[in-house]
Amino acid sequence: MMRKKQFFIDFDGTIVNSIKAFCDTYNLIYREHENFIPADWEKVNVYNMKDQCSLIKDVNEIFTNPYFFWTLQFINENTYTVLKKLNKKYNVIICSIGVAKNIAFKANWLERKLPFIKEYILISNNGCKMNKSIINMKNSIFGDDIISNLKSSNAKEKFLFGQIYPWNEGWQGEHCLTWTNIEEKYL
């Protein structure tokens, strides 16, 4: 039997709308603070979201909060459907970086929301250095919303996912804005 080609896909900002969940969680936690101004996820323009979430000291306060994962939704309305189709054609592997508590919550979310995907590579990285070179992606496809993750990967085919932000502008390779674009290109 022929092995399926591997298709690595990032979690935050690619499968799920982490920016929205981050701002929603921030708004819940800080709403009683005297200097609170509600965060608008559609206006986030910096990677640590401090332009909208100015009261946070450490982003992991949000990324390790259970409410973040309770509100976390797929990034597009057809993400689930396209992932299900991709999983039939490819060996889909979700890869993500985070602190230990964050990755534990991610694993639980994935088990509940994407039970048909059985492989994850969850990298514990307290410094959250965006680099996935530790993962051998040779002869594979890799999609991520962070340029440094794409550049550090040895994947044969790479694509930047999602809208362009200051932290991911300048990518010269393939770009898939939506999951419909992924479906059109890879299925």
Which structure tokens are listed for 62? 């949000």
Output the pLDDT for position 125: 77
Compute the average pLDDT of residues 182-187: 98
Q: Which of 2, 158, 9 is nearest to 93 (CA)?
A: 9
- Report pLDDT for 1: 66
pLDDT, mean over the chain: 95
Backbone angles phi, psi at 96, to 5 degrees: -155, 160
What single string gives the DSSP state of each residue in 53-107?
-TT-S-THHHHT-HHHHHH--BSSTTHHHHHHHHHHHSEEEEEEEE-HHHHHHHH
Query: What does the pLDDT read at residue 128?
Result: 59
Q: pLDDT band for position 126 (50/70/90)?
A: low
% residues pLDDT > 90 (the chain): 92
- Whole-number pLDDT of residue 57: 92
Per-residue DSSP letters for 118-134?
Answer: -EEEEEE-TT-----TT
**Confidence tier at 131 by pLDDT (50, 70, 90):** confident
Residue 129 has pLDDT above 80, yes or no: no
Pairing of strands 141-144, 6-10: parallel
CA distance 80 to 91: 15
Mean per-residue pLDDT, 66-87: 98
pLDDT in tens, 45-56: 999 999 999 999
- pLDDT score recorded for residue 127: 61
pLDDT tens sequence across 85-117: 999 999 999 999 999 999 999 999 999 999 999
